[in-house]
Copies of this chain bind each other. A is one copy, B any other.
Amino acid sequence: MKTFLHASDLGQLDLALQEAAEIKKDRYAFEHLGKHKTALLIFFNNSLRTRLSTQKAARNLGLDVVVLDVNQGAWKLETERGVIMDGDKSEHLLEAIPVMAQYCDLIGVRSFAGLTDRAADYSENVLTQFILHSGRPVFSMESATAHPLQAFADLITIEEHKRQARPKVVLTWAPHPRALPQAVPNSFAEWMRAADVDLVVTHPEGYELDPLFVGDARVEYDQRKAFENADFIYAKNWSCPGVTRPEDYGKVISKDADWTVDSEKMSLTNDAAFMHCLPVRRNVIVTDDVIESPRSLVIPEAANREISATVVMKRLLESL
Stretch at the interface among A82-90, A214-222, A242-250: A82-90
Beta-carbon contact of A48 and B66 below 8 Å: no
Question: Which of B36, B56, B78 contacts A103 (CB under 8 A)?
Answer: B56
Inter-chain contact A66/B56, CB cutoff 8 Å: yes
A96 contacts the other chain (CB 8 A): yes
Alpha-carbon separation in the docked complex, A298 to B36 (Å): 25
Question: How many copies of this kind of chain does the complex include?
Answer: 3
A53 within 8 A of partner (CB):
yes
Total residues of chain A contacting the partner, CB 8 A: 57
- State whether A75 touches B48 (Cβ < 8 A): yes
A283 within 8 A of B: yes
Contact A306–B103 (Cβ < 8 Å)? yes
Whether B38 and A90, one on each chain, are in contact in the complex, defined by CB atoms closer than 8 angstroms, is no
Say what secondary structure dominates the interface of chain A. mixed
Residues of B within 8 A of A100 (CB): 48, 52
Q: Which B-chain residue is minimally distant from A40 (CB atoms)?
A: B52
10 contacts between A and B (CB under 8 A): A40-B52, A48-B68, A48-B99, A56-B103, A81-B288, A90-B281, A91-B281, A92-B280, A94-B292, A102-B302
Residues of chain A whose beta carbon lies under 8 Å from any beta carbon of chain B: 27-28, 36, 38, 40, 46, 48-49, 51-53, 55-56, 59, 64, 66, 68, 72-73, 75, 78, 81-87, 90-92, 94-96, 98-100, 102-104, 177, 278-284, 288, 291-292, 298-299, 302-303, 305-306
